[in-house]
Structure 1
Amino acid sequence: MPKSKVRKKTDYSITPTSRIPVKVKVGPSPVWYISIMLGFMLAGLVWLLVYYLGADHIGWMSDLGAWNFLIGFGLMVIGLIMTMRWR
């Protein structure tokens, strides 16, 4: 019985000409970005402190009830997410 022909497989490696270089912005973050990032974190902390200490005296804040936790922690999480882009 005759032996069948062996097929040559094509090479699927990436050639250097097919890759497009991407420029990445490198450098420190601007001062305003760091200020806003820390501002969000501090604003969330202040919101929770004011809620715990003065919710009885602030009518609209006591009307919000448990939503104050979402607002306070939400502000802090926004600041925390901003730290991922901080250089």
Structure 2
Amino acid sequence: MPKSKVRKKTDYTINPASRTPVKVKTGPSSVWYQAVMFGFMLVGLAWLLVYYIGASSSNSALGQEGKFLHWMYELGSWNLLIGFGLGVVGLLMTMGWR
């Protein structure tokens, strides 16, 4: 039986010039950025809590369904999008937080 050819593999070498570290000249995030970021998350959570407790529950301690927060009650399911949207904006801001 004939012997198979042995292939030589070329060694992969990393170019040392491309491995030089790069200094990033940015400092920590400002206090305002952090306040806005956490503010979005907390307002989104508060929106959902107010919707579930005050605007959507029937015979709530805050009044009949739709009377205490009639504008929020009229939004219906859009309240979920608004609340989660505000929370997601805050979470997306965490990617730029240093």
TM-score (norm 2): 0.64
Runs of 4+ in 1 over 4 A off after TM superposition: none
- How do residues 6-85 of structure 1 correspond to structure 2 at under 5 angstroms? 24-55=24-55, 56=66, 57-85=68-96
Match of 1:86 in 2: 97
Work out the CA distance in 2 between the residues paired with 1:47 and 1:35. Answer: 18
1:27 Cα deviation from its structure 2 partner = 1.4
More helix by share: 1
1:24 Cα deviation from its structure 2 partner = 3.5
* Residue correspondences, number: 82
Residues 2-56 of structure 1: CA deviation (Å, up to 9, x unaligned): xxxxxxxxxxxxxxxxxxxx87332110000000000000000000010011103
Work out the CA distance in 1 between the residues paired with 2:73 and 2:25. Answer: 46
Aligned partner letter, 2:81 = L
RMSD, matched Cα:
2.7
Aligned partner letter, 1:80 = L
Flag structure 1 segments of 5+ consecutive residues without an equivalent. Answer: 1-21
